[in-house]
Amino acid sequence: MEKINADIAALLDSLAVNNDEASYRRLFDIFFPSLKKFAHYFLRSVELAEEAASDSMFVLWEHRDRLMEIENIRVWLFVITRNRCLNLLKHQQARLTSSLDTIPVEISFPGKDPEQICISSEMRKKMEKAVNALPDRCKLIFKLVKEEGLSYKETADILHISVKTVDAQLVTALRKLTQAIRLEYV
């Protein structure tokens, strides 16, 4: 993780100092997929999610001269994406505000790390079913922390909630997942 952060820092420095388009493209490739997935939770449209994520990455380009002042670029981009999604929803007249409790969240287990590879297909299906049964807020927080690898503080900053709320929602999610899995094997 430190190497990734060092690589991102080097790319940001190159972009900020040299206006390097190749660095911007690499940053785009790193951040765009996660931002698009995150936007899709709010917008439930692939096209609108791509638009929101692209807009966020354009903001990165526009503010390239001030990038070194930003403490956590990943959180900054997620917050920009969230705000863009809320603006898109407002313009669509879908609702004036968006509640975390009503955002539909789909979760998948891509099987990228050794732990997930070891989980059998049957167990994975049971886990997905248990996760999808979580309340939407729990599911979104679980997804950001467990799949996107965000810290509790980063998740709290993105969703404008307290770190204690993130912790409480994760405790609830893990308790419900444990109960659901345990019931399958009793």
SS3 breakdown of the chain: % helix, strand, coil, rounded to 5? 75, 0, 25
Q: How many residues does the chain have?
A: 186
Q: What average pLDDT does the chain have?
A: 84
Helices (H), 63-151: 73-91, 114-118, 121-132, 136-142
Look at residue 73 and give its three-state secondary structure.
Answer: helix
With bands split at pLDDT 50, 70 and 90, how would you rate the model's confidence at 4?
Answer: low
For residue 97, pLDDT over 70 is answered with no
Q: What are the chain's domains?
A: 2-91 (1.10.1740.10), 100-184 (1.10.10.10)
Average pLDDT over residues 96-125: 59
Kindly tell me the burial class for residue 64, based on how many C-beta atoms sit within 10 Å of its own C-beta (0-12, 13-18, 19 or more): buried
pLDDT bracket for residue 105 (50, 70, 90): low
- In this predicted structure, which of 39-43, 122-126, 154-158 has the lowest mean pLDDT? 122-126
CB-neighbour burial class of residue 128 (10 A; exposed 0-12, middle 13-18, buried 19+): middle
User: Which residue's structure tokens are 């096209």?
Assistant: 47
* pLDDT tens profile 38-62: 999 888 899 999 999 999 999 999 9
